[in-house]
Chains A and B, each alone.
Chain A
Amino acid sequence: MVMAFVAAAIAMLVAMIPPAIVLCRGELAGSVVAYEFIASVLVMVLALLAEGFKRPAEFEFPVLMAVLLYGSSLVFIRVLERWL
């Protein structure tokens, strides 16, 4: 039961590698898209780890990350649009 959530979190962390390659080596617009992908997956990873390790207090991280994902992505997008 616990292992399933942790295994899913590990699999999702592995899934971050392809977008991380795009983030580091791709063109600018592609890097922003890869950042959005990684941030979305990170929300799930935080929720899965909190559930997997039975830490109820840590369920606040995915909520915070989901809110920050919105703000930070918009900042990157505006910078991309105006200055880069």
Chain B
Amino acid sequence: MIVKEVFSDILLGLAVLIVLTSAIGVLVMRDAYQKLHFVSPAGLVAPALVALAVMVQHGVYENTGETFLALFFMIIAGPLISHATIRAMRVREKGHWRPQRGGKAPAGEKEQ
């Protein structure tokens, strides 16, 4: 029982540490591209640690399942949202998201 609690506390501590350092990263980085790098640890790694902490505490049961379901949605949404954010920022800056003339077009795409 004590081992479970200690292990759960360690996982929670790691999750909090990751979120705190990422929060500072979001604050101090210069532009949105750099800030976006700090969203992924807080949006993917820390929720996984929290879900593991809940599972260590109670084993496999309904609440653990719901926590992992939330984690599942976040794992799917995180990379998609990061990609969409970077694309939106590039569209705002350049007017389009495609590579510039003379630049290399992505594989399978015709250069303009």
Encode contact with B along A15-43: 1 for CB under 8 Å, 0 otherwise.
Answer: 11111011000010110111011001101
Query: Which residues does chain B contribute within 8 Å of A29, judged by CB atoms?
Result: 31-32, 85, 88-89, 92
Interface size class of A (residues with CB under 8 A): 35 or more
Number of A-B contacts (CB under 8 A): 154
B88 touches A44 (CB 8 A): no
**Interchain CB contact (< 8 A) of B12 among A4, A69, A73:** A4
Contact (Cβ within 8 A) B20 A11: yes
A36 close to B31 (CB less than 8 A)? no
Taking residues whose C-beta sits less than 8 angstroms from the other chain, chain B's interface range is 35 or more
Please pick, from A15, A34, A47, A78, the residue contacting B70 in the complex, using a CB distance under 8 A. A47
Question: Which 5 pairs of residues, A with B, have the shortest CB-CB distance?
Answer: A29-B32, A18-B27, A81-B88, A40-B43, A66-B73
Partner-A contacts on B (CB < 8 A)? 5, 8-9, 12-13, 15-16, 19-20, 22-24, 26-27, 31-32, 35-36, 38-39, 42-43, 46-47, 50-51, 53-54, 57, 62-63, 66-67, 69-71, 73-74, 76-78, 80-81, 84-85, 87-89, 91-92
Binding site for B on A (CB under 8 A): 1, 4-5, 8, 11-12, 14-19, 21-22, 27, 29-30, 32-34, 36-37, 40-41, 43-44, 47-48, 50-51, 56, 59-60, 62-63, 65-67, 69-70, 73-74, 77-78, 80-81, 84
